[in-house]
Amino acid sequence: MKPSKWFKFYIAIFLVFLYAPALLLPVFAFNDSSIVAFPLKGFTFNWFTVLWETEALHASAKNSLIIALSTAVIATTLGTLAARASARYKFPGQKGVMGFIMIPLVLPEIIVGVSLLVVILQLGFDLSLWSIVLGHVLICTPFCVAILSSAFLNLDQSLEEASFDLGQTKFATFWLVTMPLVLPGIVSSMLISFTISLDEFIIAFFLAGTEPTLPVYIWGQLRFPQKLPSLMALGTVLLVLSMTLLATAEYFRRRSARKTGIEDAGGFL
């Protein structure tokens, strides 16, 4: 059944509404004017040069990279363990436990941020980069579980059983047989977690302390109109980086689907 003309028109309007604001970023990032408005004045790379010369930006970018890498590794590790346990074993309260793990997907981030702030301060810990990592792991782990559960559920168990029959231990079977088959899903999970953590603002805003992340730095600079063109340039860099990471994650997700025999029913993009 072919889609109707009205449906195609709706899709076109929806895509324009969704992506038009993002497409304005590179337009004004290369505009030779400190005023973000039409008509455009000319073409320039000056605003990207400003980014290279701003040390506060470099410090916040470094913080974001440390947090994003740590979050990706920890969340993917936890997601792998949870997905493996859910796919291969039956235990009391399994559905409830898995549902509890997935709750951060539907909780407003501001609630998560405020709750973590109260808990961390009540326990007597200082706000730091690791408190942000804690919050980001909480919201990224459900994404990792969702990605990896399909890979483990659709993995042919006869391959593992054959490994056991040949005398391999459970650990050796997991490392030599299971891991190579689900590795594309693990890479996809890490890239998605990295992207979510890198762009996340609300939790980082509450838990940053004196070490701001890149989104928090951008929010602070929005008070100064003369900084807006350079922020447009920074937004362009982040847009390209995020799209690249998501496209790479989708590639590995599809590769994992082919390896484990999952029919592709749509992905992130």
Strand partners of residue 43: 31
Q: Which tens digits make up the pLDDT trace of 61-85?
A: 889 899 999 999 999 999 998 888 8
Q: What is the DSSP string of the chain?
A: -PPPHHHHHHHHHHHHHHHHHHHHHHHHHTBSSSS--SSP--B--HHHHHHHH-HHHHHHHHHHHHHHHHHHHHHHHHHHHHHHHHHH---TTHHHHHHHHHGGGTS-HHHHHHHHHHHHHHTTPPP-HHHHHHHHHHHHHHHHHHHHHHHHHTS-HHHHHHHHHTT--HHHHIIIIIHHHHHHHHHHHHHHHHHHHHH--HHHHHH-TTS--HHHHHHHHTT-GGGHHHHHHHHHHHHHHHHHHHHHHHHHHHHHHHHHTPPP-----
101 close to 142: Cβ distance less than 8 angstroms: yes
pTM of this structure: 0.77
Angle of CA points 143, 146, 148, to nearest 5°: 105
The distance from CA 48 to its chain's CA centroid, rounded to whole angstroms, is: 25
Q: Which amino acid, 236?
A: T
219 close to 206: Cβ distance less than 8 angstroms: no
pLDDT over threshold 50, residue 264: no
* Domain ranges, ordered by start, for the chain: 56-89+101-260
Task: Please identify which residue in the block is written with the tokens 């982040």.
Answer: 238
Q: What is the rounded average pLDDT of the residues 247-260?
A: 69
| pLDDT band for position 256 (cuts 50, 70, 90) | low
Angle between helices 46-53 and 228-260 (to 10 degrees): 80
Task: Please identify which residue in the block is written with the tokens 């076109």.
Answer: 12
Polymer length in residues for the chain: 269
Q: What pLDDT is attached to residue 263?
A: 45
Cα atoms in the Cβ-side hemisphere of radius 13 Å centred on 72? 22
167: left (phi over 0), alpha (psi -120 to 50) or beta: left
Q: What pLDDT is attached to residue 210?
A: 80
CA–CA separation, 46 and 141 (whole Å): 39
Q: What pLDDT is attached to residue 257?
A: 63
Q: What pLDDT is attached to residue 259?
A: 58
pLDDT over threshold 70, residue 265: no
Q: What pLDDT is attached to residue 258?
A: 66
Q: Which amino acid, 140?
A: C
Residue, of 80 and 175, whose pLDDT is higher: 80
pLDDT over threshold 50, residue 219: yes
Q: Which tens digits make up the pLDDT trace of 84-132?
A: 888 877 878 778 888 888 888 888 888 888 888 998 888 888 888 888 9
Q: Which of 3-7, 68-72, 214-218, 240-244 has the lowest mean pLDDT?
A: 3-7
Q: Which tens digits make up the pLDDT trace of 140-170?
A: 999 999 888 887 877 777 777 777 777 777 7
Q: Which tens digits make up the pLDDT trace of 3-54?
A: 677 887 888 888 888 777 777 777 777 777 666 667 767 777 777 787 787 7
CA–CA separation, 12 and 17 (whole Å): 9
| Number of other residues whose CB lies within 10 A of the CB of residue 44 | 15
Residue, of 224 and 213, whose pLDDT is higher: 213
Superfamily of domain 56-89+101-260: MetI-like (1.10.3720.10)
Most confident of 16-25, 68-77, 204-213, 217-226: 68-77
